[in-house]
């Protein structure tokens, strides 16, 4: 029996996972999922400290085996000082498209003692839906408090994504094959 040839199109599905944490700091605005939340402290960091966007960006980059966010946007590079983290997400989406994938769904968990995320989750989901160009129904946002973890002064985010080979990519790959 001949060996099955290696598929030229790669897998139809890929998963990605990202994690991030930032420390709360007085005097900076709090941004989570691209939304500014009213809170006495924000998240410190080289960019705007948006812990959720960073975890999602790393999940997307990891899913297409691209370099991680810290490698692409070095914290020692002055260009990213105070940068809007949506820029990092845009780069990850560009790489996803280049690789021929689109997002099937995204799930995320935020872990922070304050502020309560529940009242803002709908707004964050709507905004992420615009940033990622997917429906709100494809986005999960969960929030928990860090019981017994001793991380009350930090915000932590986990994100998992499932990618699906994009329809346009399937078509173009198939037509390339036929002309061989
Ligand atoms: Zn970060």
Q: Rounded to an integer, what distance in angstroms lies between the CA atom of residue 13 and that of residue 1?
A: 27
Question: Residue 5 C-alpha to ligand 1 middle, in angstroms?
Answer: 41
Q: Rounded to an integer, what distance in angstroms lies between the CA atom of residue 138 and that of residue 4?
A: 34
Q: Which pLDDT value is given to residue 167?
A: 82
Question: Residue 136 C-alpha to ligand 1 middle, in angstroms?
Answer: 23
Percent of the chain, pLDDT > 70?
89
Question: Residue 51 C-alpha to ligand 1 middle, in angstroms?
Answer: 5
| Average of per-residue pLDDT across 79-108 | 96
Going 17 to 88 to 100 to 7, the CA torsion angle's sign is negative
User: Which own/partner contact pairs does 70-79 have at CB distance under 8 Å and 24+ positions apart?
Assistant: 73/47, 75/45, 75/46
Residue 34 confidence (pLDDT) above 60: yes
Question: Residue 20 C-alpha to ligand 1 middle, in angstroms?
Answer: 5
Question: Residue 156 C-alpha to ligand 1 middle, in angstroms?
Answer: 9
Question: Residue 49 C-alpha to ligand 1 middle, in angstroms?
Answer: 6
Q: Which pLDDT value is given to residue 7?
A: 45
Residue 163 confidence (pLDDT) above 80: yes
Q: What class is the 13-178 domain? A: alpha beta
Q: Give yes or no for a contact between 137 and 99, defined as CB atoms under 8 angstroms apart.
A: no
Q: Which pLDDT value is given to residue 180?
A: 46
Question: Residue 138 C-alpha to ligand 1 middle, in angstroms?
Answer: 23
Question: Residue 22 C-alpha to ligand 1 middle, in angstroms?
Answer: 6
Question: Residue 54 C-alpha to ligand 1 middle, in angstroms?
Answer: 5
Residue 168 confidence (pLDDT) above 90: no
| Average of per-residue pLDDT across 143-169 | 94
| Average of per-residue pLDDT across 72-83 | 91
Beta-carbon contacts of residue 84 (< 8 Å; ≥ 6 apart): 47, 48
| Average of per-residue pLDDT across 54-72 | 97
Residue 9 confidence (pLDDT) above 70: no
pTM of the predicted protein model: 0.90
Question: Residue 137 C-alpha to ligand 1 middle, in angstroms?
Answer: 25
Question: Residue 55 C-alpha to ligand 1 middle, in angstroms?
Answer: 7
pLDDT band at residue 177 under the 50/70/90 scheme: low
Question: Residue 3 C-alpha to ligand 1 middle, in angstroms?
Answer: 45
């Amino acid at each position: 029996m001949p060996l099955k040839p290696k598929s030229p199109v790669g897998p139809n599905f890929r998963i990605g996972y990202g994690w991030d944490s930032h420390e709360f700091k007085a005097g900076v605005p709090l941004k989570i999922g691209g939304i500014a939340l009213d809170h006495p402290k924000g998240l410190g960091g080289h960019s705007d400290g948006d812990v959720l966007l960073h975890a999602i960006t790393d999940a997307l980059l990891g899913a297409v085996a691209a370099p991680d966010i810290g490698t692409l946007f070095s914290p020692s590079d002055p260009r990213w000082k105070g940068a809007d983290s949506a820029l990092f997400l845009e780069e990850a989406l560009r790489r996803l498209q280049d690789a021929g994938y689109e997002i099937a769904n995204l799930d995320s968990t935020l872990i922070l003692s304050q502020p309560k995320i529940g009242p803002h989750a709908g707004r964050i989901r709507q905004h992420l839906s615009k940033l990622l160009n997917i429906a709100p129904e494809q986005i999960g946002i969960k929030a928990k408090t860090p019981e017994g973890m001793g991380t009350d002064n930090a915000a932590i985010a986990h994100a998992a994504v499932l990618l699906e080979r994009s329809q346009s990519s399937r078509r173009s790959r198939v037509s390339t094959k036929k002309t061989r």
